[in-house]
Structure 1
Amino acid sequence: MSSTASLLVLALAGLLLVTFPGLCAGTAAAHHRPNGNQCHPSGSLEGPSTGHICGECCKPGHLYPKYQCSPPVTKNTRAVMTLNNFEEGGDGGDPSECDGKYHYNTERVVALSTGWYNHGKRCGKNIRISAKGRSVLAKVVDECDSLHGCDKPHAFQPPCEPNIVDASQAVWDALDITGDEVGDYPITWTDASQMENVAHSLQIGRDLRINAHSSLTSYNNTIIKMSSTASLLVLALAGLLLVTFPGLCAGTAAAHHRPNGNQCHPSGSLEGPSTGHICGECCKPGHLYPKYQCSPPVTKNTRAVMTLNNFEEGGDGGDPSECDGKYHYNTERVVALSTGWYNHGKRCGKNIRISAKGRSVLANVVDECDSLHGCDKPHAFQPPCEPNIVDASQAVWDALDITGDEVGDYPITWTDA
């Protein structure tokens, strides 16, 4: 077989193998901002009757939201990356859902929130994760369970948030995210293309061949010479084994999950009104929406999601700003903070420094983004605000040069000025 013909056969085999795994998947403030990903809780779980010694364990009597959905997948799907240990005895618990195996932390593997896991349809496939100007391919091997938790099989941890990519240490290393940055880190991701999957399989095959050759050499100092045709056949076989097996075993009960790492859990829930309202972000009848008394701890680089608000009279903010009882022009750099960060108005009139895209800007706190109340007329029938929101005027977005399709739910950091 010629070298060209061998490469063509190998490429065809890779394309077929990338396709097959998918066939085997199993079956009283005025301003506030809802979760802009349009993925609302499908219900809630109550913490166990007794507490457990664990920083992220469910608390007795607390309600934790559960999600059937995840935000829509786009070319730049916004997500929060968390760190998971996929090895036996690690915090992942049972073997990975896709293949029933544990994985070394040196492998670039991930677990996805229930909606993105999609009944195992992404099992064995690669996604491309981007952050800090870098990108890396990682294989989906598990589910980050967004529907179950607070029990022994889930290590008494809450259901996973709907926007989590729970990644191995190798993924973090490849993106050069180290030290204090490791935790809940804003990223974007998308499904890898077929060609990327083929290239990734080829690279894995090459790595295995090189490692095998190195091991044999170290043990018996024998140099194994393979013809070009034989090498390619070994490579194709390695790709076949590595890509095919993960797609054969999609289970039913998810083992891996990751709680909200900001340690701010819901303090209860609100039920949507009995009748619906004509509004894309309005509460839905009968749905449960989490409410929060807390927000994540404030640090020198507090991670948050920035949303857009209209603070002018007649804008989507509703009543005048909470701090001063006034409306504000959109040309002013002003913000509303989630209830925990608003802290009973203690940040009213003070500036915070917001950073994104290599820029930073000062903005004045004038309002609360209500995380405890909603789904009623004073709140325009919108759900309570998420606990990590900085709801900013147009002037803040302009100063950070965030425009066009980027405007929406945008990952930022902030601190007190």
Structure 2
Amino acid sequence: MNATIKLIQSKIKPEQLFMLSVLLVNGGNYLYNLILGRFLGPDKFADAAILVTFLLVLSFVAMTFQLVAAKFSVLFENKIFKAFISTLYKRAFIVGVVLALAIIIFSAELQEFFKTSTSKMFLLFGIGVPFYFLMSVNRGVFQGKQELTFLSVTYQSEMISRLLITFSLLYFLDFDSSVLIAVGILCSFVFGMFPFKYKIFSFKTSLKLDIDKSKLVRNFFIITAFYELTQIIINNSDILLVKHYFDSYEAGLYASLALIGRVVYFIAWMFVMLLLPTVVQLKKDGKSTLPILMKYVSYIGLIAASIIVACFFFPEQIINVLFGSSYLEIAPLLWKYASATGVFAISNIFAYYYLSLDKYVPVVLSGIFGMLQVVLVTVYHNSLAEVVHVQIIAMILLLLVQLTYFFLNHSKSVKIKKTI
């Protein structure tokens, strides 16, 4: 494994490798969902989509620990870093165990609320949760230290193992598909932990951060946790609510719509992963952070526009190629859903940028409009079209307020520099 990594490092720059790796991971995860959709059909795919949505929710919760690890891996060094990372690993594991127990204990209630075929899928998923939290802290260290080759490998390990194990089980075993999918997800959490930086921490360490540094970490953790909560709400509440309010067939159709329409968000995630440590480092070095923001916003804007145009002119062709004719019913909604996620992806770049600079107003704004989206879907869900329309409204309003904050904040900074 190490020999292979060193060979790759000598041929490709880490940033290039990470970009390529993210594209491959997102492509692999997309392939995973597409094959499930085609293989299972709309009814059974609705259950699979719940597991995938739970996986996305978990990734956002665990991302809190990853971003904290990434930021303070840049700021802390030597003994201070070791004390910090050891504490973070312990707390991540504890949170993982608590969430795992909650999912396992309430698995029957989850089955009833989401109208799934079995509660065993939630039991198996819950078992893997602590592994995912440890994996996320490990990834945060790689991200913060800019060890992008190792970061790429851990994402690839998770994605490839999930693909191979899940479809091997579905092919060879005649058993409840949702249970087999849950087994594949559980195994992928374990594989995703490698390579693991076990030498940098100890659960038994007696080292502790001083009060000021502990307060700095705590404040960033709280606001990041709040922001990731808004990400969970905006990204996943619609699928969960549709599964609750609509029958399995319509929920399966909507899941396929969401999967296609969110292409732009998954691509934007690649830039977000590079944005946070870069902005923190630039701020630490006393350099301007605005050019990197403008660079990433222009990238995401161009990508979003391209995807929306493609979904507008070729919706039936896209759906037919990706999911098959069984899903063509949702073709008219494709460009609209892509518009909602495209607008959200752009506003998300601004929020992560200011989060990196310890400015939290955009985070609060995301939370407000995330809750607005939930309220709108809860009130207006007479049809799938209505669900999509209210999301477009919420996301456009979110982007407008994020842009307003950006321009006001930028104007204020310019005035301060002129007076100096």
Length-normalised TM-score, structure 2: 0.25
Q: Which has the higher strand share?
A: 1
* Max Rg structure: 1
Query: Greater helix share, 1 or 2?
Result: 2
